[in-house]
Amino acid sequence: MATVIAQISDFHCGSVYFVPEMFEAVIDEVNALRPDLLAVTGDMTDMGFKREYEQAAELLSRIECPRRIVIPGNHDARNVGEVHFEQWWGPRRSECVFDGIRVIGLDSSEPDLDSGQVGRDGYRWMTERFSEDDDEFKVVAIHHHLVSVPGTGRERNIVSDAGDLLRVLNTTGVDLVLCGHKHVPNVWRLDDLIIVNTGTCCSLKLRGRVRPAYSIIEIGDDHRVRVTHKTPGDHGEVVADFRKVKRTSCIWRPAFEDGEGDDW
């Protein structure tokens, strides 16, 4: 039986583009789905204000999923919004382990900046958490894009330390990365790493013909991963179905790590 993760993101409570009726549909659909984990990948608020956080917290409290990972986005970090985030959801870095799956949430936001990074402390923590069991299915949730996504403009959307972060993801054997940020759903596969960008689940701040969407990720016992992008109140589409092959070793080793260049 597959493990189901529902990923919602970028609802922007307080924005003129936020559509409450659409989030009501998200609540009903996710509750009917009965996922094993709810992953909220940031930008719950538009300006990081207390009233926006209160609205977001009330909406999320109505989703009936006991396991959840909630991380802040760049909008949540505006106006010292992290103090409200921590009041409602605790540390900005979190972890959930269940049924052979380990999910960690990393804060990639920077105060009052749209750009983001994970940083060295995040690398160390991720390496520590993923060193315990190589047989686990390993998931990382961050807000900003890990790699470029079509239709999101020029390169100011990915985390600024994406190269170093990709190396840590590779060496720790991460299987799946969940991102939000620019409201454009997309799936990439890089070697054995699957990267799922979800859209905005209930905002009309959209690009081109992109529709509001959230993501449903199904993880099978054989580490098969199926991704569905679902428009609230409307149709869903299976956009990826990958049969996973567990990574056994690092495929890239930089020369500068040990001063040698002939042992790649």
Number of domains in the chain: 1
For residue 245, the tally of other CB atoms under 10 A from its CB is 10
**Cα–Cα distance list, 231 to 20, 36, 162, 201, 216 (Å):** 14, 20, 29, 7, 11
Q: Can you give the pTM of this predicted structure?
A: 0.90
Residue 122 falls within a domain, yes or no? yes
Residue 94 falls within a domain, yes or no? yes
> From edge to edge, which strands make up the β-sheet containing 94-98?
94-98, 101-105, 137-141, 176-179, 193-197, 186-190
Residue 262 falls within a domain, yes or no? no
CATH code at position 188:
3.60.21.10
Residue 263 falls within a domain, yes or no? no
**Cα–Cα distance list, 87 to 12, 37, 84 (Å):** 18, 21, 5
Q: Tell me the residue range of the domain where 50 lies.
A: 3-257
pLDDT tens by residue, the chain, 264 residues: 899 999 999 999 999 999 999 999 999 999 999 999 999 999 999 999 999 999 999 999 999 999 999 999 999 999 999 999 999 999 999 999 999 999 999 999 999 999 999 999 999 999 999 986 678 999 999 999 999 999 887 767 799 999 999 999 999 999 999 999 999 999 999 988 999 999 999 999 999 999 999 999 999 988 899 999 999 998 899 999 998 655 444 433 333 344 444 443
119-129 vs 162-171: helix crossing angle, rounded to 10: 10
Cα(251)–Cα(137) distance, integer angstroms: 19
Residue 264 falls within a domain, yes or no? no
